[in-house]
A = this chain, B = another copy of it.
Amino acid sequence: MSMNSFGHLFRVTTWGESHGPALGATVDGCPPGVALEPEMLQVWLDKRRPGQDKNMTQRNEADEVRILSGVYEGKTTGTPIQLMIENTDQRSKDYGEIEKTFRPGHADITYWQKYGIRDPRGGGRSSARETAARVAAGGVAREVLKALVPGLEVKGYMTQMGELHLDRSKFDWDAIDTNPFWLPDASAAKDWEAYLQKIRTDENDSVGAAIEVVVRGAPAGLGAPVYAKLDTDLAAAMMSINAVKGVEIGEGMAAAALRGTTNADEIFMGENGPEYSSNHAGGILGGISTGQDIVVRFAVKPTSSILTPRKSITKAGEPIEVVTKGRHDPCVGIRAVPVGEAMAACVVLDHLLMDRAQTGGDRGKIG
């Protein structure tokens, strides 16, 4: 076991603190012979990068990823791929005063209690900056998936930010990349932006969000019984992202309100195999993919790093009021979109490799 690793066969170990010299991911188990250049990863890191938009923290990081191993002449060799991102804009003085203080809603207090030591610079290991390493690793997974399952797509978007909800009747897959909220409804983006600016600027506050990630084009048969269910691994992957408090597959928590007569997706025979009347299941039955869209959703809590003062204590146990003046996202859910995509890509590839190991990729015949 490794506490900082995920995946069974496509195995990612991340390392690094927010304000250390660098952070990164070690990707083990990658299939050989897959084309891989830093630019293929950089595009996803740029999507997650802070400082590029007024909706995000103003910390300015290039987030330039280097491939230190596992690639020869532009192709993966099957050996571990080390992805390193150097930290350039560290400004650790911003964080000096909080060394003796526990910010409410942060890992400051629990890290201190557990380890008796913590790196206070930018949250150290508990910083959302760790997700850059995931995005880089997810970029590798995407390239392998492209080689093994042409046409497979992994796409994330926001479905909720505070009081605002995505209007699913206006769902437009092609709109997702056209607005800073990765919103599948371009018409709503302006309202979302105004709402977020008001929260940040007028109210010195932050807000939560819900993100949905869809994997389209995955074959039936991915997943495994009981504790390596595809949905189990997706749930773990998403819950491991900073600030995530809930994970749903298909109907998710709403399934508690449903009846058996409406929940089960009916099956029909299509030209290319089974088809379904609906997708309440989120593309997974018994932990194994059906071939439909795999749908996973997660909620991100509002960041506690806000300008409004909050009560807390110091290491000495003295009461204190905490105001976080640093550079922080008013809605970390925006940047969680590429992170969620990266995790989904890694999990699906991992299961593709596991399936290939056990079954050779053969499928039971229908029709």
Contacts and interface: CB of A to CB of B under 8 A. Distances in A.
A166 to B, nearest CB: 11
A313 B274 contact: yes
21 contacts: A2-B2, A9-B357, A21-B69, A22-B82, A23-B69, A31-B360, A72-B124, A75-B117, A78-B225, A106-B264, A114-B220, A116-B362, A209-B256, A245-B248, A246-B254, A248-B253, A252-B253, A263-B304, A267-B312, A315-B366, A356-B360
Contacts of A358: 9, 29-32, 78, 353
A227 B68 contact: no
A327 interface: no
A331 to B, nearest CB: 10
A141 to B, nearest CB: 14
Nearest to A262: B302
Contacts of A192: none
A80 B4 contact: yes
A359 interface: yes
A82 B78 CA distance: 21
A265 interface: yes
A257 B160 contact: yes
A358 B1 CA distance: 13
Contacts of A96: none
A267 B102 contact: yes
Contact of A250 (B103, B245, B319): B245
Interface in A40-83: 66, 68-70, 72, 75-82
A232 interface: yes
A69 B267 contact: no
Contact of A317 (B210, B245, B269, B286): B269
A6 interface: yes
A263 B208 contact: yes
A208 B236 CA distance: 23
A281 B246 contact: no
A365 B313 CA distance: 13
B357 A353 contact: yes
A311 B301 CA distance: 40
Contacts of A232: 236, 239-240
Q: Which of A221, A242, A290 has the most CB of B within 10 A?
A: A221
Q: Which of A222, A252, A260 has its CB near the most chain B CB atoms (within 10 A)?
A: A260
A82 B16 contact: yes
Given A114-B223, A236-B233, A311-B268, A24 B82 contact: yes
A179 interface: no
Interface in A266-310: 266-269, 274, 277, 280-282, 284-291, 297, 299-306, 308, 310
Interface stretch (A170-178, A180-188, A199-207): A199-207
Contacts of A199: 259
A197 to B, nearest CB: 14
A289 B82 contact: no
Nearest to A112: B364
B117 A257 contact: no
